[in-house]
Every structure is written in C-alpha cells, then in structure tokens.
Chains A and B, each alone.
Chain A
Amino acid sequence: GDSVTQMEGPVTLSEEAFLTINCTYTATGYPSLFWYVQYPGEGLQLLLKATKADDKGSNKGFEATYRKETTSFHLEKGSVQVSDSAVYFCALSAQGAQKLVFGQGTRLTINP
C-alpha cells in the first residue's frame, strides 16, 4: 500500500542553520504531496504542497520539490528560526483516493 517515510528525529539545530528533513514515498500513479506542521499544543497546519512532478511548493521560507524519479519530497529552509520549532509531517494523497497517508513526523527544535 501507499506509505511515507521521513527521516528519524528529533532534529536539533541552531538558529539560522540550514534545514533539510527527508521524505520519501511509495505510491502508485501520481500522488499529491504535502508537508504539514504541528506546533506545540496545536493541530495540523498545511505548510506547503505539490501536485505533480517537478512542482515546488513553498511557504514561510520552506520549500519542497516533488521528485518522481527519486520518489522524494524533502523539506528545506535556508535559515531556521526558533519559531520553526514544531513537528513536521510529510503526507501524500494518492491519485483518486480520499485519505492522507502520513509519515511518522519529525520533531524539530531550534535553539537560539
């Protein structure tokens, strides 16, 4: 079945460091890909999305590119802030399907 694998956490960085959180997926066809963020004590918020190969989603300085050849959707940010501390979830929605399939989440902590 469809699945999403994220890099193991937790990840701890210093402010202004470069961030990469790896995400790979397994799905038939052409899924839509998403990154959701969960801040402490809150629900899931859509961070960015991409719906076809080579699409780049971006928001709040975060970017991810839909790479079909490597079945990946890695999240990147050039300079992280303390306020980026949260849990990040990679997810897919398979073509024609209703549900989102989530990765296990990566907890990110940014130290000042």
Chain B
Amino acid sequence: EPEVTQTPSHQVTQMGQEVILRCVPISNHLYFYWYRQILGQKVEFLVSFYNNEISEKSEIFDDQFSVERPDGSNFTLKIRSTKLEDSAMYFCASRIAGGLGEQFFGPGTRLTVL
C-alpha cells in the first residue's frame, strides 16, 4: 500500500540553524501539506501546496518557513533560522486530486531545537 514517507525521523539542531525536512508524498497525489504538533497540543496546519505554488498558509507559516517541490517526488519544508518554539513534530500529508478531502499523513519528523 502506498504511503507518505518522511526523513529524518528525528532532527536535533541548534537555535538559529537552518533545517530542511523532507517528505515523499504518495506518487499520484497532487496536493501536499505540512502540519505541526507541539508536544501535548493539537495538530496545526502550516501550509498547502498545489501546482508548484502555495495555495494556503497559516499565520504560523511566516518568512522563516518555505516549501519546495524540487523534483517529481520530494516535498520539503525549510526553516531558515530555527527558534526554540519550532520544536515540534512535523507531519507531511498528501491527497489525490478531487476526492473527499482525505489526506494521508507521513509518520512525522520530530524537530528538537536546542
């Protein structure tokens, strides 16, 4: 069964450093998303991406964040200068065109900013 994969599973970085979180969505999906979950809190939407551009973003997704689909398979989230409060689990999700809004999630990358 096809699945969304994410790498790395855990990333530790120093405050102020840049990190890139990687995702490989399901191959025939056209909509891509990033969410985050701070420990013990709800899952929060960051950004959605379709047709090589951002289609929606939340207030959390400020200038420190960017997304890219550098090739036909990867979807990345970059944080330019990490802050302590960026420590969270980051989930990538994808969905097929049309459909019923059903998104398929990856296992997540736990980002720890020291």
Q: What is the total of A-B residue contacts with beta carbons within 8 Å?
A: 59
Chain A nearest CB: distance from B51 CB in Å? 12
A104 and B100 contact, Cβ closer than 8 Å, known pairs A43-B91, A43-B106, A43-B108: no
Question: Which residues of B lie under 8 Å from residue A89 when comparing CB positions?
Answer: 42-43
Distance between Cα atoms of A24 and B98 in the complex (Å): 26
Interface of B is mostly: strand
Complex CA–CA separation, A34 to B99 (angstroms): 14
Identity of the chain B residue whose Cβ is nearest the Cβ of A96 in the assembled complex: B101
- Return the contact of A44 from the options B45, B100, B105 (Cβ within 8 A): B105
Interface of A: prevailing SS: strand
- Distance of A58 Cα from B41 Cα, bound (Å): 26
The answer to whether B104 touches A46, judged by C-beta atoms less than 8 angstroms apart, is yes
Complex: how many Å from CA A48 to CA B71? 32
How many residues in A have their beta carbons less than 8 Å from beta carbons of B?
22
Task: Give 15 CB contacts A-B under 8 Å.
Answer: A32-B102, A34-B102, A43-B108, A45-B105, A49-B101, A98-B31, A98-B33, A98-B56, A99-B33, A99-B48, A100-B33, A100-B43, A100-B45, A104-B41, A105-B42
